[in-house]
């Protein structure tokens, strides 16, 4: 829907841009399926778990998927190569919140993006620095929402100071690989 539904409202040079191209839909759908289940929703399944075994199962699955994503991004600029797709955008919304919110608030604390996943961090910075993206990320609002609205997890409503890694830092794209 977002590929064409609002074309009449945007500048002509942006009309028809698609992040869900026909030729990549099977790969995008496959990525979205496991990334949604274990990462996008995995942080919530970990954070809202009310039993240790459920927390551990979901937290381990989350970090197995982050390792898988790290491997993909160590070889590619984006999840499906050189092209930004819907799969990247869907994952970005979780990753940009990961260190400042999910790592502590939802107990997803095996690793941090900033120190444990260099390729995911590079990818996050690259997307964040695309025109118009940075302006959509209000980390103070994000942190206040999570830390102040989930009183069953954070009854004191204290909001941590850190905003996570510096997303304005320069990015270095992965080297071209012969394979």
| Residue range 88-105, pLDDT digits in tens | 999 999 999 999 999 999
On the question of pLDDT at 173 being above 80, the answer is no
Structure confidence at residue 176 (pLDDT): 52
* Domains within the chain, CATH numbers bracketed: 28-149 (1.20.1050.10)
> Model-level pTM?
0.92
Q: In the chain, where does DSSP find H-type helix?
A: 25-35, 42-47, 52-75, 86-97, 103-105, 113-116, 118-128, 139-149
Structure confidence at residue 7 (pLDDT): 84
Structure confidence at residue 178 (pLDDT): 43
In this structure, the chain runs to a length of 179
Query: How far, in Å, are 23, 58, 111 from residue 48 at the CA level?
Result: 37, 10, 19
């Amino acid at each position: 829907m977002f590929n064409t539904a609002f074309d009449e409202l945007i500048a002509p040079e942006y009309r028809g841009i698609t992040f869900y191209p026909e030729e990549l839909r099977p790969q995008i759908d496959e990525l979205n399926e496991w990334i949604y289940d274990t990462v996008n929703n995995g942080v919530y399944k970990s954070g809202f778990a009310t039993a240790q075994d459920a927390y551990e199962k979901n937290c381990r699955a989350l970090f197995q998927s982050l390792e898988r994503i790290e491997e993909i991004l160590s070889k590619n600029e984006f999840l499906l190569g050189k092209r930004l797709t819907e799969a990247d955008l869907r994952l970005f919304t979780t990753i940009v919140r990961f260190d400042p919110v999910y790592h502590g608030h939802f107990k997803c604390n095996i690793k941090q993006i900033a120190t444990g996943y260099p390729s995911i961090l590079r990818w996050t910075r690259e997307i964040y620095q695309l025109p118009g993206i940075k302006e959509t990320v209000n980390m103070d609002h994000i942190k206040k929402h999570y830390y102040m609205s989930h009183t069953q997890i954070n009854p004191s409503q204290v909001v941590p100071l850190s905003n996570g890694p510096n997303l304005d830092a320069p990015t270095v794209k992965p080297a071209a690989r012969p394979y």
